[in-house]
Amino acid sequence: MSDSHAAAGPASTPAADGVHRVRVLLYSDDITTRDAVRAAAGRRPARDVEVVAWHECATAEAVIEAMDAGGYDIAVLDGETAPVGGLGLCRQLKNEIFRCPPILVLTGRPQDAWLAGWSLADDAVPHPLDPIAVAEAIARLARDRASVG
């Protein structure tokens, strides 16, 4: 990863209409999981949050390249992805990217919440994915990103 990268991307700021428009990077080697996340969040995970773009990655290398390029407000990483899980990748991104965007990790089960803490994730949702929990987490991260600037 590039050490000289100043920031990972634009901060989500509410437009004049009060809507946070966000670009989301989504990582999972399982297309079914990627589809489930996109379906859960939809275009509007909350009244004040709109997902304007999804960038899907199936490999850790693609995530690193995309995050180095910047432009993402939120990342969603699947902890069950192999061979490089989203939890370890999250920790790497948080340690290597200055002003890393908020990251939501998908854990294998609710008991794995401690792993999300270890990974430095900003939020976690366990498998099987609850669509409401996914949408709420993405909306919360979009709002948090805007409040931090």
| Residue 6 in this model has a pLDDT that exceeds 60 | no
20-148: what fold? Rossmann fold (3.40.50)
User: What are the sequence ranges of the domains in the chain?
Assistant: 20-148
**Cα 23 vs. chain centroid, distance in angstroms?**
9
- The pTM assigned to this predicted structure is 0.89
Mean pLDDT, residues 3-27 taken together: 69
CA dihedral sign of residues 121, 81, 22, 4 = positive
- Contact yes or no for 73/14 (Cβ under 8 A): no
pLDDT-based confidence at 146, cuts 50/70/90?
confident
**What confidence tier does 70 reach under pLDDT thresholds 50, 70, 90?**
very high
The contacts of residue 95 (CB under 8 Å, 6+ apart) are 120
- C-alpha to C-alpha distance for 117 and 112, rounded to whole angstroms: 9
In the prediction, which pLDDT does 14 show?
Answer: 65
List strands edge to edge, sheet with 123-126. Answer: 49-57, 20-27, 74-78, 103-107, 123-126
Res 16: pLDDT: 72
